[in-house]
Amino acid sequence: MDGDIDSGMAMITMAHMELDSLRKSDIGELKSFKEPPDAVVKVMTAVLLIFGVPRKQHTWDTCKKICAQSDFLAQCQSYNKKYTEEKERIHLEIKRL
């Protein structure tokens, strides 16, 4: 289990580093997908998990609505990496994607 947590935390750390390179035009391109590639679906499912969106609302339309929020990037960048039991559960769910 510790290996899963470490691996999940490493994935989150890498994602935070990648966020710094995103631009608004990248988010616009993301929203333009009618049928996104599998990798995009996995990343956006992870975002929905982190944002606390109920699983039954994990749809591409929900992803596009989240991306359309004016503070979407800021919300992603400010995600607190501090350990909590809830965040451990989210990291494990992300690992299983």
pTM for this entry: 0.68
- Cβ atoms < 10 Å from Cβ of 40: 15
Specify the CATH number of the domain 2-95: 1.20.920.60
Query: How many Å apart are CA 13 and CA 7, to the nearest integer?
Result: 10
pLDDT tens digits, one per residue of 4-52: 656 666 776 776 677 778 888 888 898 899 999 999 998 899 889 888 8
The domains of the chain are located at 2-95
Our CA angle for 64, 93, 78, nearest 5°, is: 55
